[in-house]
Structure 1
Amino acid sequence: MDQEIKAKVDQWLEGSYDQDTKNEIKRLLQDNPTEAADSFYKELEFGTGGLRGIMGVGTNRMNKYTIGMATQGLANYLKKTVGGQEMKAAIAYDSRNNSDYFAEVTAKVFAANGIKVYLFDSLRPTPELSFAIRHLGCHTGVVLTASHNPKEYNGYKAYWADGGQLVPPHDKNVITEVQQIHSIEDVKWEGNEDLIEKISKEVDEPYLEMLEGNAISPETIKAEKDLKIVFTSIHGTGIVMVPEILKRLGFENVHVVEEQKEPNGNFPTVVYPNPEEAEALSIALKQAKELDADILLGTDPDADRVGIAIKNHKGEWVLLNGNQTAALLFNYVIENRKAEGLAKDNDFVCKTIVTTDLIDEFAKQQGMACYNVLTGFKFIAEVIKEKEGKENFIIGGEESYGYLVGDAVRDKDAVASAAMICEMAAHAKHQGKSLFDQLIDIYVKYGFYKEKLISITKKGMSGAEEIATMMKELRANPPASINGSELLEVRDYQSGIAKNIKTGEETAIDLPKSNVLQFFTADGSKISARPSGTEPKIKFYFSVNAKLDNKADFDKVDADLNDRIEGIIADMKLR
């Protein structure tokens, strides 16, 4: 074993760590030395979103000690920024193994530092934690979740007083404070536990009332109360709130998938608890077909993302991607707020730079501002905060199945989204249409935009280097054309410069620096390259578009656009 790794192992074996931890380290050293080395070869990095990693013993794992040290760093920053007044924090957790235990550890460290803690008494969706921070006047918040990662993982997401995840300058400042915690001896583990208050209904009720208030057309829901809905929480927190809000809105024909109803951190019925994956929704889809349902919805373990399935124009069940759902949702909210007399002159929407540009078209034609931000919902939350009191946020979203309706929450909210999606489906049905009919209508009116995402995983310690080399090569040698279409513009978000290839003119990109490249071609194609911040993979996003003159041409244009995307992928040698 590397001497540096061995020194870390010895520190844990000889230090004031609990005996169970030491026994597990000894077992790993004997039975699986490779795993032992991986558990200690580096520190689990506290990034701008917090912590995320495999659970286990060691410096590179999610455990009591890495979480305690992160919390101490966050507490130290809180004391420096808001000390002198009562400091308050809210904590929630999802259905993952150890999430409740990690939440207790977090609460105790906060309390030991003199911080008042509001701890949910049982699992809750991540968006309700965001709501609770603002509702209770907290300065920070933490949710224990690894979102849609496999069962071996857990995570620690930190929030600030606005209910959004950490953004500059707080993100870097908190990271700096966490990095100053070099030992578990630097952590205040016990004391002041009377500062920990358990919460439940006192936040649940205001949250649900807020969601009810989001409804644009309650009368339509009343008229289509028998809309046949199938819902799966995929063993996560969605079960706590989604059926309840649908019931309160008046939907009376909701079918919960029983096999996936029980919260369970082992996610026994799926390989991967991610509604982006068809396999995760396969049980629900079978039930939807048997019931001849109108719509199927599935939320991820912490209920901040939602996937849907509907019947297409041929009567076949299809899973919509995040861009298609976003297009339907944004269009519904924008058009029906106008129809119901709810629209304001200063309404705006917000999305990420890799989410469908169809939304920009909606906004342009409706005379409404659409702000584009970097990938990560915290940047949408930041725009909401900046515009508060000046402009009126109505909806935001990103292609990775995350959407937000209204500004009471400052993170993606699958509970609010599920409610609005069902209202949207009821509205379509009331007009004698399906949601897929609505999608085709949107394409005819605004243009047919088609998107695809592929992820290339590079595992092991060399993976990050391979990804860095790919990005370096794309920057140094951008293609002159892609799939036969001339390259017109390159946007490099790391340098902050957009370059016109024909004229050589360079303009500044008014967004924070980020390791993202975008290529725009003469035929309207857009290709984005972005290494993941949480996993050893690089993501490529493809967007193409064409005119759709009428519904009858849908299949032909759809096939043509798909061929264009596959042509781009082949030309860029990404397969």
Structure 2
Amino acid sequence: MHIDQSILDKVNEWLTPTFDNDTQNQIKEMMTTSPKNLEESFYKNLEFGTGGMRGIMGVGTNRINKYTLGKNTQGISEYLKKSFPGEDLKVVIAYDCRHNSDTLGKVVADVFSANGIKVFLFSEMRPTPELSFALKHLNCHAGIVLTASHNPPEYNGYKVYWQDGGQLVPPQDGEIIEVIERLKYSEINFEANESLIEYISTEVDEAFAESTVANASFNTSASAKAGLKIVYTSLHGTSIKMVPSVLAKAGYTDVNIVPEQAEPNGDFPTVVSPNPEEPEALTMALALAEKLNADIVFGTDPDSDRLGVAVRDTQNNMLLLNGNQTMVIMTHYLLEQWQKAGKINGKQFIGSTIVSTPMMLELASAYNVECKVGLTGFKWIAKFIKDFPELQFIGGGEESFGFMVGDAVRDKDAVGAILLMCEIAAQAKENNSSVYEYLQQMYVDYGFYKEHLISLTKKGIEGANEIKQMMVDLRENPLAEINGQRVIMVEDYQNATAKNLLSGEVETLTVPKSNVLIYYLEDGSKICARPSGTEPKIKFYFSVNCAIESLSDLPEAEKQLDQKIKNIIAEMQLN
């Protein structure tokens, strides 16, 4: 096959003595046996996306390896020195259960130390939210976690956190990328200064656990905690390091761990995907819940920032909640608790994202707090906390199964969210109610919102081009009517415009630019198209709603909303 000369130039660079013999031999093998794989490995440089940098592990500029991560780290080292002149620089590094995460974590530590920067390196895998906590706890300038979240086993990744404990956001991200791109691979300093690398362990665990219990506990009685039967699975990931101990510290005694999934394993052998967004991932946990007649089920992704939740419905059947539902349940409960404590005075806010349920806006209005809505990714919610120090952050989430309780952790945090959901469930059960009934009453009080997600996977160069073309088509040929409803507004975040199709008025969007399109229909429906920032996917988000007067209206309203979503999907030819 023909390979573009620009790709061959990169390949030839990687065949120089700057790169080790093993790397060169793997490239030579690909040149003779798999030119297609060679092209995929070098056709572009890995980029920072919604949740940092993620990619397939292997050799090449488009792969996760010691050189691509070393170059990132060298660039960040130089940027830190420029940003904090004269300061004794400190960074903290964590890693998850994935293959090579520990060795890649040590490579990153080596490069920082080689550049004279003090490194705190977790001695074993730890949850991503603990890295965010540790950064502030240890008064560091930056933090790195090696993780590919819920991606398949062949992936790994590199997430960068800044002084506030949140992920990189503008302008730092762009400035750092510029520094990284100017570097040559030969400029990476891999020669570790071991005296600058300090291994950390239980002392940070204990501080993180204490902080979590303080932030996510709300006066639940000991008897209510003892009466809640919990099933929990780590899906072979890092949450096993903290969730059981945090629940025990908080007083929950009936915690039943799925034994087959408790052992960390980067192959994730018992699931197709280690993603609690996928119902299949919780199959074993649900089976254990039925066996034990448990009240609630939790599952976390490999780095423990996302959580899946299942609860009993009114027929005593286990029901998987989606991310929008868990988000509004936890947010509403927090708002209730803050109001009861007399802590709401108009100077508080909750956080959400542009692809998440509009129900968050209704909750904010009802409790006289602001709802700040940002782009997809918790780094934007963390940025709100940093940008508005005069406001108190209560909590916030996004539809992709993430939530953040307070501001001690500046990223989605399954550890704290699990404890919060236990508080809600235990108190509801003690009052002869349930999480499910709590949610149903919210639908009566604030409107019945129903969301659905379609995710289309398009791998490789062809897939990337196909996704690009889909977005071009939606922009150049915008839909004027969907399912018999006029499109009244189109928000184009790439062009930073919001166009009212009825009046023709165009407003400027104030959030950072992003490749996202949102259609608003005259009946309140919302449709969003967004290429993933970390996976070879394009995602379509659907939100529909209606008002209901009583709980008895729910079954018929749900049928109607389900049908509306089906009609929209069919008309957009996405099924």
What's the TM-score, normalizing by structure 1?
A: 0.97
CA contact (8 A) 1:221 1:249 kept: no
**What residue number does 1:153 align with?**
155
Which secondary structure does the structure 2 equivalent of 1:219 belong to? coil
User: Given the superposition, is the C-alpha separation of residues 221 and 438 from structure 1 closer, same or farther in structure 2, using an over 3 Å criterion?
Assistant: farther
Q: Is the counterpart of residue 544 in structure 1 residue 544 in structure 2?
A: yes
CA contact (8 A) 1:517 1:529 kept: yes
**What residue number does 2:500 align with?**
500
**What residue number does 2:123 align with?**
121
* Alpha-carbon separation, structure 2, partners of 1:50 and 1:368: 30
**What residue number does 1:522 align with?**
522
| 1:61-72 equivalent positions in 2, closer than 5 A | 61-72=63-74
* Alpha-carbon separation, structure 2, partners of 1:523 and 1:294: 37
* Alpha-carbon separation, structure 1, partners of 2:130 and 2:460: 36
* Alpha-carbon separation, structure 1, partners of 2:448 and 2:221: 28
CA contact (8 A) 1:48 1:171 kept: no
Give 2:183's aligned amino acid.
I
Which secondary structure does the structure 1 equivalent of 2:372 belong to? strand
| 1:102-117 equivalent positions in 2, closer than 5 A | 102-117=104-119
* Alpha-carbon separation, structure 2, partners of 1:387 and 1:442: 29
Which secondary structure does the structure 2 equivalent of 1:462 belong to? helix
**What residue number does 2:478 align with?**
478
Which secondary structure does the structure 2 equivalent of 1:293 belong to? coil
Which stretch of the first structure deviates more once superposed, 551-560 or 140-149? 551-560
Q: Is the counterpart of residue 96 in structure 1 residue 79 in structure 2?
A: no
Give 2:498's aligned amino acid.
A
**What residue number does 1:50 align with?**
52
Q: Deviations over 1:257-303 (max 9, x none)?
A: 11000111111111111000111111111101111100000010000
CA contact (8 A) 1:48 1:167 kept: no
* Shift, 1:49, TM fit: 4.4
* Alpha-carbon separation, structure 2, partners of 1:46 and 1:483: 37
* Shift, 1:216, TM fit: 4.3
CA contact (8 A) 1:308 1:320 kept: yes
CA contact (8 A) 1:68 1:189 kept: yes
* Alpha-carbon separation, structure 2, partners of 1:17 and 1:477: 47
* Alpha-carbon separation, structure 1, partners of 2:209 and 2:312: 29
* Alpha-carbon separation, structure 2, partners of 1:306 and 1:223: 22
Give 2:532's aligned amino acid.
S
**What residue number does 2:37 align with?**
35
User: Given the superposition, is the C-alpha separation of residues 48 and 567 from structure 1 closer, same or farther in structure 2, using an over 3 Å criterion?
Assistant: closer
CA contact (8 A) 2:50 2:533 kept: no
Which secondary structure does the structure 1 equivalent of 2:304 belong to? coil
Which secondary structure does the structure 1 equivalent of 2:253 belong to? coil
* Alpha-carbon separation, structure 1, partners of 2:565 and 2:115: 54
Which secondary structure does the structure 2 equivalent of 1:137 belong to? coil
* Shift, 1:201, TM fit: 2.1
User: Given the superposition, is the C-alpha separation of residues 215 and 343 from structure 1 closer, same or farther in structure 2, using an over 3 Å criterion?
Assistant: farther
* Alpha-carbon separation, structure 2, partners of 1:379 and 1:560: 34
Give 2:553's aligned amino acid.
D
* Shift, 1:538, TM fit: 1.4
* Alpha-carbon separation, structure 2, partners of 1:33 and 1:522: 51
CA contact (8 A) 1:131 1:207 kept: yes
Give 2:232's aligned amino acid.
F
**What residue number does 1:262 align with?**
263
TM superposition outliers: structure 1 runs of 4+ over 6 Å = none
CA contact (8 A) 1:68 1:187 kept: yes
**What residue number does 1:455 align with?**
455
CA contact (8 A) 1:86 1:115 kept: yes
Q: Deviations over 1:390-436 (max 9, x none)?
A: 11101010000110001011111110101101111111111111211
| 1:414-453 equivalent positions in 2, closer than 5 A | 414-453=414-453
What's the TM-score, normalizing by structure 2?
A: 0.97
CA contact (8 A) 2:333 2:424 kept: yes
Q: Deviations over 1:503-554 (max 9, x none)?
A: 1122222211111111111111111111111222211111100112221222
Which secondary structure does the structure 1 equivalent of 2:382 belong to? helix
* Shift, 1:30, TM fit: 4.0
**What residue number does 1:569 align with?**
569
* Alpha-carbon separation, structure 2, partners of 1:570 and 1:272: 27
Which stretch of the first structure deviates more once superposed, 565-574 or 142-151? 565-574
Which stretch of the first structure deviates more once superposed, 171-180 or 188-197? 188-197
CA contact (8 A) 1:235 1:301 kept: yes
Give the alignment partner of residue 175 of structure 2, picking from 168, 173, 176.
173
| 1:387-402 equivalent positions in 2, closer than 5 A | 387-388=388-389, 390-402=390-402
CA contact (8 A) 2:348 2:391 kept: yes
| 1:316-465 equivalent positions in 2, closer than 5 A | 316-388=317-389, 390-465=390-465
Which secondary structure does the structure 2 equivalent of 1:173 belong to? helix
* Shift, 1:348, TM fit: 1.3
* Shift, 1:182, TM fit: 2.1
CA contact (8 A) 2:40 2:461 kept: no
Give 2:106's aligned amino acid.
E
User: Given the superposition, is the C-alpha separation of residues 500 and 4 from structure 1 closer, same or farther in structure 2, using an over 3 Å criterion?
Assistant: closer
CA contact (8 A) 1:224 1:429 kept: no
* Alpha-carbon separation, structure 2, partners of 1:64 and 1:254: 39
Which stretch of the first structure deviates more once superposed, 44-53 or 526-535? 44-53
Which stretch of the first structure deviates more once superposed, 399-408 or 40-49? 40-49
CA contact (8 A) 2:231 2:289 kept: yes
Which secondary structure does the structure 2 equivalent of 1:541 belong to? strand
**What residue number does 2:283 align with?**
282
**What residue number does 2:27 align with?**
25
CA contact (8 A) 1:373 1:379 kept: yes
* Alpha-carbon separation, structure 2, partners of 1:552 and 1:345: 34
Give 1:545's aligned amino acid.
N
Give 2:460's aligned amino acid.
G
| 1:118-267 equivalent positions in 2, closer than 5 A | 118-183=120-185, 185-220=186-221, 222-267=223-268
* Shift, 1:333, TM fit: 1.0
* Alpha-carbon separation, structure 1, partners of 2:474 and 2:206: 51
Q: Deviations over 1:149-201 (max 9, x none)?
A: 00000000011111111111100001101101222x20111142211111112
CA contact (8 A) 2:228 2:295 kept: yes
Give the alignment partner of residue 13 of structure 1, picking from 6, 12, 15.
15
CA contact (8 A) 1:127 1:303 kept: yes
CA contact (8 A) 1:25 1:57 kept: yes
User: Given the superposition, is the C-alpha separation of residues 47 and 328 from structure 1 closer, same or farther in structure 2, using an over 3 Å criterion?
Assistant: closer
CA contact (8 A) 1:220 1:423 kept: no
Which secondary structure does the structure 1 equivalent of 2:562 belong to? helix
CA contact (8 A) 2:42 2:62 kept: yes
Which secondary structure does the structure 2 equivalent of 1:410 belong to? coil
Give 2:270's aligned amino acid.
T
Which secondary structure does the structure 2 equivalent of 1:552 belong to? helix
CA contact (8 A) 2:50 2:534 kept: no
Give 2:381's aligned amino acid.
I
CA contact (8 A) 1:148 1:300 kept: yes
Which stretch of the first structure deviates more once superposed, 460-469 or 525-534? 460-469
**What residue number does 2:80 align with?**
78
User: Given the superposition, is the C-alpha separation of residues 11 and 137 from structure 1 closer, same or farther in structure 2, using an over 3 Å criterion?
Assistant: same
Which stretch of the first structure deviates more once superposed, 250-259 or 480-489? 480-489
User: Given the superposition, is the C-alpha separation of residues 47 and 551 from structure 1 closer, same or farther in structure 2, using an over 3 Å criterion?
Assistant: closer
User: Given the superposition, is the C-alpha separation of residues 559 and 254 from structure 1 closer, same or farther in structure 2, using an over 3 Å criterion?
Assistant: same
Which stretch of the first structure deviates more once superposed, 196-205 or 284-293? 196-205
User: Given the superposition, is the C-alpha separation of residues 221 and 337 from structure 1 closer, same or farther in structure 2, using an over 3 Å criterion?
Assistant: farther
User: Given the superposition, is the C-alpha separation of residues 462 and 138 from structure 1 closer, same or farther in structure 2, using an over 3 Å criterion?
Assistant: same
CA contact (8 A) 1:222 1:250 kept: no
User: Given the superposition, is the C-alpha separation of residues 321 and 381 from structure 1 closer, same or farther in structure 2, using an over 3 Å criterion?
Assistant: same
Sequence identity, in percent? 53
Which stretch of the first structure deviates more once superposed, 297-306 or 431-440? 431-440
Which secondary structure does the structure 1 equivalent of 2:403 belong to? strand
* Alpha-carbon separation, structure 2, partners of 1:7 and 1:481: 48
* Shift, 1:141, TM fit: 0.7
* Shift, 1:46, TM fit: 4.2
* Alpha-carbon separation, structure 2, partners of 1:68 and 1:404: 31
